[in-house]
Structures are given as structure tokens and as C-alpha cells.
Structure 1
Amino acid sequence: MSKKRREIPVFDHPIIETHCHLDYLKDRPLADTLDQSRQVNIERIITIAVAPDNLAKVRELTRASDIIYGTQGIHPHDAEQYTDAVEADIRNHTGDERIVAVGEIGLDYFYDNADRDVQRAVFRRQLQIACDADLPVVIHSRDADEDTITILKEFENSLSRRGVIHSFTSGPGLATYALDQGWCLGFNGITTFNKAENVRDIVRMTPIDQILLETDAPFLTPVPYRGRENAPFFLPFVAENIASVKNLSLEQVLSQTYLNSLRTFFPTP
């Protein structure tokens, strides 16, 4: 008989899920995902756009529930699908009430699903959208630390809101640059994986006031639920792990990451 997995812990403090892909979840209806998320005190969920064919879907999801917010942007995997028409679509909705960032944008030299020159050009074009719209950015960077730094340096003076380098698995060089420049780093279930000590090292060096909690659901399900589809309601396991790695109280992690999320995506006027 298999060992029973831990129940998902429920904390008194609300949590903001800063990065998931609700339109990619398949294991249960959206209503069930939202109900289970509310049960573990997930207060808001940001669902992330990645491709031309899901920009509108993300916008639709933000209208499906008062706890769902979204982004608009094209992932580096789909950079070769980026056109003037796609850019116009993104720009036309950066002012939507429930669109809180430009993303997921950036560079991915691990899979190289798009030509690197195209990736860099599309990354720059979308950073400019964020500058023009005064929105934060959700960045994907994999095996592209040097070029990510080079391009971000070009926008240091014009990108006022910064944002997050999500699912951070890069090296200390990119981490140091981003933290010095006021970016947040997003951490998820990877921090619970046995072979992810390099990521935990980055967690240790990251000030708690620059950490965001995310799941990247349906991907990267945290221990003890690896092997199942990820979902926002598994976020409490990420919070527990961050507290353990940083040797902080759970209350410190929950309260500060909540404030970090508000500061990044939901600033008060």
C-alpha cells in the first residue's frame, strides 16, 4: 500500500499565486481548482499568457472569477510567432483592469524553440511595451543569463516597475544583477526537489523582501505531490519550503511575500 501524502496545510495568512497557467490545467474543472485554492487561503491568482493563441483566453479567465488576474505577452518558445498584429493585441490590452503585467517574456537557450536573434528582438519589443504601459514584467530566462543581463541593462532607466524573473533556476550572476536592480525572483516547487540545491542556494542569497511565491502550474508540482498535475492550491508547500531553506518563521515568509506580491503587481495609487 502506498504511503498517504500529507494534506495541504492551511495557513491563516492569505497567499498570492503569482504565476500559473490556468488554461493548461486538465485534471479538474476551473471551478474546482478555484474552490480548492480558496480553501487553502489563496487570495489572488495570476494566470500567465505565453502564446498568440492564449492571449484572449487569459483575458477571458480574468473575467471568470474575482480572484483571477492575468498578463499579456509571448514566451520565447513562441517568439517566431510574434508579429505586429500580435504586438498590437498585447498593447491594446495592457490597460485592462485585470491585466497586471507584461509576460511571460524572455530568452530560452535550453530548448532553442525559436531562433536566438528572434528571441532577443521579441524580448526587447515586449520590454518596450512594459515601459510604455508602466507595467511590471514576468521574465523567463533559461541558459541565457548573459544575454538576459545585457538586454535588461538597456532598459534600466526606462523600465520603472521592474517585476520578476520567474521560476528562477539561473546562476548567482543573474540573481545578483536582478536583485541589485530591484527585481524579485520567483520560486516554486523546484525548491522542494532533491537535486535542486543550486536553486536553494539562490533562495538563501535572496532577501525575503524580493521573493515571490508561484507554482507555474500545471508544471513543477512540489514534493510531496510530484507526479500529479500542479495547481495553485499546492502553493502552501512552496511557502513552507522557503521558510525552511531561509530559516525563517512561516509567518515571516507568508506576510512578506504577500507584501512583495502586492508591491509588484497590485500597487496602491
Structure 2
Amino acid sequence: MLVDSHCHLDFPDFADERDAVIARAGEAGVGLMVTISTRVRRFPDILAIAEAYENVFCTVGTHPHNAGEETDVTAQELIRLAGHPKVVGIGEAGLDYHYDKAPRDLQASGFRTHIAAARETRLPLVIHARNADADIAAILEEETGKGAFPFILHCFSSGPELARKGVELGGYVSFSGILTFKKSDELREIARQVPRDRLLVETDAPYLAPVPHRGRRNEPSFVAHTAAVLAETIGLGAEETAELTTANFLRVFDKVPPKAGQGI
């Protein structure tokens, strides 16, 4: 069984065929999906999707792009919403200096709010990091010093130093379809250096479809292609890699029932 540890099933791209998308995931061996929150104010829509499908879980949080819109979100609110059985993580939150859609100070304060919620709930924080390696690493190190919390560096496309620091601080590293791109040799080298017990796979659907679907809308079933490239990269068989990444997922997302998704 494979897991898509990060997708966005609430996005309009899936509105007309969500049932079919989830069915195709099952046919591809993807037994579990986590649909990721980008706006707390839209959390009811995310939760409704997770409640509608036995093998779909969700997170609660504010994407750094939207940090300026949700400055009133508190750690206490995140903690309260995370009490729902279907909520298995916090985020996504972090820093995005590529688009800079929100002021950097608001991104950072929101990131720290989400860290506080992850620390309190012990649910993993899904971290968005783009062109902000040094600041992400500094905040993670500082906040870990106040008390450890589980986290995932999602859709990893940063440099080797952030991967190393994330692992050193107890985090996981999740690879998306970018791993399959022809020019991603450096990223594949980073994947080889990440300890096997810290590796995850994801789609970030509807974005970043892997080869051979690059340029199309992404969907959870396509995580199988990323897992196949990861398997080749780290020198394992496809089945071993599926077992490995699923075991890693269940370890960090430990609120997900251990037997979930096995009925595909």
C-alpha cells in the first residue's frame, strides 16, 4: 500500500470528479490520503471531505501565502479544531520567499503559532518551505529548543543543509513529483542522503504531476510514479519502498488508525 501524504482534494480542480479521483487512487494502490488545509476559515470544507471518505484524513492550518489573511488564528483554535478524529496534522504552514504573497513577519509569526499547536497536540506540522532555507532552519532549531514537536518538510525542493537540519531535529522529508523531473539530480542525491526511516512521498495534487504526467493536473494515484523513482534512487524495490514510506507515514501521523486504508 502507498500513501499520498499531502494533497488538496478541496481545490476546485477536483470538484467535479472527486469520487473518481479517490477511486483511481485505490486502483493504483494508494490506500490513504491526507488532504491539507491552506486556510483555517475554510476548514469545514476540508473536514467534510475527510468525513466523506474512510481513507481520507486532513490537517488544519494556514498556508504562508494566506498568513496575512488569517492573523487572528491562534494556537488554541488550531488545537481545538485538531481534536476531531479525522484531523491528523497541523498546517501547512511555513515560509515562502519565492512568491512572498504575505509579509515575511506575518509568515514567521503564523509559522510559530502552528509550531505551538503541533507541540501541544503532538500532531505533525506540515511545513511549506520555499527559498527560505536559512530562516526555516533557524526557526526550527529555536523552537525545538523550547520543546520538540513532530514535523514534515513537505514537497522538498530545498538544499541539502535544510534536509540535514530537519532530520537532525527529528523531522521527516517528503518528496513530490519534482523528484521525477529530468533536471532533479541534486534532489535525488538529497533523497539518497535522507535516512530511510524519514522518507515520505506525496503528490501536492493538483500541482507538480510526476513524469510521465508532467504538465497535467496531478492527482493522488500519481504518487505511485514518485514512489517508483524514489525506489530506484535509494536502491530498493517498489514493494519495499511502498512498505517503507507507509510505515514512516503511520509513525509520524500516528493518529491515523494503523489498519486504515488496508481494505483497498
Q: Which residue of 2 aligns with 1:17?
A: 4
Say whether the 8 Å CA contact 1:17–1:213 is kept in structure 2. Answer: yes
Secondary structure in 1 aligned to 2:174? strand
d(CA) in 2 for partners of 1:53, 1:78: 11
Cα distance per residue 1:23-56 (max 9 Å; x no partner): 1152551111111111112111100001244322
TM-score by length of 2: 0.92
Q: Which residue of 1 aligns with 2:118?
A: 130
Moved more, 48-57 or 30-39: 48-57
d(CA) in 2 for partners of 1:75, 1:262: 23
Q: Which residue of 1 aligns with 2:88?
A: 100
d(CA) in 2 for partners of 1:32, 1:133: 33
For structure 1, the 5+ residue unaligned runs are 1-13
The answer to whether 1:77 aligns with 2:98 is: no
Q: Which amino acid aligns with 1:31?
A: D
> 1 or 2 for the larger relative contact order (CA 8 Å, sep ≥6)?
2
Q: Which amino acid aligns with 1:223?
A: V
Secondary structure in 1 aligned to 2:128? strand
For structure 2, the 5+ residue unaligned runs are 259-264
Moved more, 240-249 or 84-93: 84-93
d(CA) in 2 for partners of 1:126, 1:250: 34
Secondary structure in 1 aligned to 2:4? strand
Q: Which residue of 1 aligns with 2:50?
A: 62
d(CA) in 2 for partners of 1:254, 1:170: 24
* 1:178-217 equivalent positions in 2, closer than 5 A: 178-217=166-205
Secondary structure in 2 aligned to 1:23? coil
Give the counterpart of 2:109 among 94, 118, 121: 121
Q: Which residue of 2 aligns with 1:112?
A: 100
Q: Which amino acid aligns with 1:84?
A: D
Q: Which residue of 1 aligns with 2:229?
A: 241
Give the counterpart of 1:264 among 234, 249, 252: 252
Q: Which residue of 2 aligns with 1:10?
A: none
d(CA) in 1 for partners of 2:2, 2:42: 25
d(CA) in 2 for partners of 1:103, 1:216: 13
The structure-2 alpha-carbon separation of the partners of 1:241 and 1:85, relative to structure 1 and needing over 3 Å to count, comes to: closer
Say whether the 8 Å CA contact 2:34–2:58 is kept in structure 1. Answer: yes
Q: Which amino acid aligns with 1:143?
A: N
Say whether the 8 Å CA contact 1:71–1:100 is kept in structure 2. Answer: yes
Q: Which amino acid aligns with 1:96?
A: H
Q: Which amino acid aligns with 2:2?
A: I
Q: Which amino acid aligns with 1:83?
A: T
d(CA) in 2 for partners of 1:165, 1:259: 17
d(CA) in 1 for partners of 2:12, 2:148: 33
d(CA) in 2 for partners of 1:148, 1:53: 25
Secondary structure in 1 aligned to 2:217? coil
The size of the alignment, in residue pairs, is 256
Cα distance per residue 1:125-171 (max 9 Å; x no partner): 11111112221110001111111111111221455441210010111
Moved more, 82-91 or 241-250: 82-91
Give the counterpart of 1:42 among 6, 30, 36: 30
d(CA) in 2 for partners of 1:159, 1:137: 14
d(CA) in 2 for partners of 1:189, 1:211: 14
d(CA) in 2 for partners of 1:222, 1:70: 23
The structure-2 alpha-carbon separation of the partners of 1:201 and 1:184, relative to structure 1 and needing over 3 Å to count, comes to: same
d(CA) in 1 for partners of 2:87, 2:26: 21
d(CA) in 2 for partners of 1:253, 1:75: 29
Give the counterpart of 2:128 among 111, 120, 140: 140
d(CA) in 1 for partners of 2:106, 2:53: 36
d(CA) in 2 for partners of 1:29, 1:87: 34
Q: Which residue of 2 aligns with 1:26?
A: 13
Q: Which residue of 2 aligns with 1:8?
A: none
